């Protein structure tokens, strides 16, 4: 299949966006669990994802301000991308030097910095993607972006676990092996940097920059911030739509927070988990990403959201079944495949919905950052108690509860559907 240059750029940027998320999330939790950190503390580490929920606060700066030297050399969006990626590399290297047992506070600080730099990169990548793809390339672009995003996450989960094991096989101690695994991930961020250098500035961004070029910096920031929020909140049913954004991926986030500790507790080795995630998990992610693109193009927006919402919820039951089956390789493969497949479908459809809500290139970054920050509330705050729930209920009931958590979002989906919200949004750009 031939990919248009713009679609290929978006695909590689999707990988760059997906790569750092697990480094302050699930991969870090495996490192901590192997080091003997208790489940309650591990669950609380979901709070280091706070920057993903607050990134809308500095998104107007990304929309309006220039980065000295970088903006002049590369342009409005590309300059911010290169700048944020270089800072991200530094943050990952800092996290690599920490120790979960001896200095959990420094681990939390390092993870917080990685999340901050990662979320800043996401602000710019999302704006770049929305602004650069014409209508005819949105289908391929959206599916490619989400599939590559998930691949980036797999590389920073299964890929890191394989690397750590390989380093240990050479005689390196466990702590040093984890450090070098994270150093390798920092190097992979350069894939995104090279991609940005090869890309061109989106035409919409160039026009928006020309329109506000003569404004003072403070004025541009205020226009980006106030315009983004006031324009969105003036829409009908805006607050209900925002609540739906918060809750739609919560079922996925709640169970996903504890998936890695659950697999380790069942008795699987680090390599068992990594091999399955990187093998069948990767295949399921790719198929699910493009299946989500097909669903979003074949069906209406609301029908697609129903399909994605229900699938990502019921897939959690596979892990409840796995808790009874035990250490069966094929059962783990089935569970990981189901989660990755349905999760990718749900993500493509959800990203399509969020993209359809962003309409003005003057503040694309701010509006999309607001929406994705709200979506991250589920992963960061509402799922932070997942470890305590798992300890109190046991693994089978925990995953049943994670299915029930999807009900509020489906209720809101019904409410918005009956009031014509999705017709007002317009056609999906997929």
Taken as a whole, the chain contains a residue count of 430
Q: What is the DSSP letter of 427?
A: S
For position 429, what pLDDT does the model report?
42
Contacts of 21 (CB under 8 A, 6+ apart): 118, 152, 153, 156
Query: Alpha-carbon distance 155 to 18, whole Å?
Result: 9
Residue 309's nearest CA partner among 386, 405, 397, 429 is: 405
In 58-184, DSSP assigns E strands to none
Query: Alpha-carbon distance 45 to 29, whole Å?
Result: 8
Q: Do 24 and 48 touch, CB atoms closer than 8 A?
A: yes
Query: Alpha-carbon distance 229 to 234, whole Å?
Result: 8
Residue 235's nearest CA partner among 349, 367, 147 is: 367
For position 12, what pLDDT does the model report?
93
pLDDT tens readout for residues 123-133: 999 888 888 87
Q: What is the pTM of this model?
A: 0.71
Q: How far is CA 238 from the centre of its chain?
A: 23
Low-confidence ranges of the chain (pLDDT < 50): 1-2, 427-430
pLDDT tens readout for residues 45-72: 778 888 888 888 888 888 888 888 998 8
Tell me which H or E stretch contains 149.
helix 138-154
For position 161, what pLDDT does the model report?
87
- Domain 5-425 belongs in CATH node 1.10.10.10: no
Quote the crossing angle between the two packed helices 138-154 and 282-298, to the nearest 10°: 160
Q: Do 94 and 194 touch, CB atoms closer than 8 A?
A: no
Query: Alpha-carbon distance 163 to 378, whole Å?
Result: 30
For position 211, what pLDDT does the model report?
67
Task: Look at the alpha carbons of 289, 294, 295, 300 in this order and tell me if their dihedral is positive or negative.
Answer: positive
In terms of C-beta density within 10 A (0-12 exposed, 13-18 middle, 19 or more buried), how is residue 198 classed?
exposed
Q: Within 234-328, where are the H helices?
A: 238-248, 250-266, 270-276, 282-298, 301-314, 317-325
């Amino acid at each position: 299949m031939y990919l248009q240059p713009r679609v290929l750029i978006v695909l590689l940027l999707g990988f760059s966006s997906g790569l750092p998320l697990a480094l302050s999330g699930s991969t870090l939790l495996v490192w901590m669990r192997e080091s003997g950190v208790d489940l309650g503390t591990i669950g609380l580490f979901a709070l280091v994802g706070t920057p993903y929920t607050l990134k809308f606060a500095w998104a107007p700066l990304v929309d309006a301000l220039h980065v000295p030297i970088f903006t002049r050399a590369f342009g409005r969006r590309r300059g911010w991308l290169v700048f944020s990626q270089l800072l991200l590399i530094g943050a990952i290297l800092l996290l690599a030097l920490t120790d979960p047992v001896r200095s959990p506070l420094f681990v939390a600080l390092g993870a917080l910095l990685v999340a901050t730099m990662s979320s800043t990169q996401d602000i710019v990548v999302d704006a770049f993607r929305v602004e650069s793809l014409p209508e005819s390339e949105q289908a391929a672009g959206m599916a490619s972006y989400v599939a590559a995003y998930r691949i980036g996450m797999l590389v920073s989960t299964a890929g890191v676990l394989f690397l750590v094991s390989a380093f240990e096989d050479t005689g390196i101690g466990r702590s040093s092996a984890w450090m070098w695994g994270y150093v390798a991930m920092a190097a992979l961020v350069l894939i995104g940097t090279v991609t940005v250098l090869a890309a061109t500035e989106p035409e919409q961004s160039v026009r928006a920059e020309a329109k506000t070029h003569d404004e003072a910096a403070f004025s541009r920031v205020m226009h980006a911030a106030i315009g983004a929020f006031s324009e969105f909140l003036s829409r009908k049913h805006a607050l209900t739509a925002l609540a739906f954004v918060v809750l739609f991926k919560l079922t996925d986030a709640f169970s996903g927070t504890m998936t890695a500790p659950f697999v380790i507790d069942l008795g699987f080795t680090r390599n068992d988990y990594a091999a399955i995630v990187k093998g069948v998990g990767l295949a399921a992610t790719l198929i699910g990403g493009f299946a989500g693109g097909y669903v979003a193009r074949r069906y209406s927006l609301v029908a697609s959201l129903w399909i994605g919402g229900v699938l990502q919820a019921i897939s959690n039951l596979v892990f409840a079944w796995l808790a009874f089956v035990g250490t069966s390789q094929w059962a783990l493969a089935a569970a990981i495949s189901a989660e990755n497949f349905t999760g990718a479908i749900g993500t493509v459809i959800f990203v399509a919905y969020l993209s359809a809500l962003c309409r003005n290139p003057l503040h694309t970054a701010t509006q999309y950052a607001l929406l994705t920050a709200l979506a991250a509330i589920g992963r960061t705050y509402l799922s932070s108690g997942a470890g305590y729930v798992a300890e109190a209920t046991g693994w089978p009931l925990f995953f049943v509860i994670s299915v029930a958590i999807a009900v509020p979002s489906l209720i809101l989906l019904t409410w918005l559907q009956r009031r014509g919200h999705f017709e007002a949004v317009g056609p999906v750009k997929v």
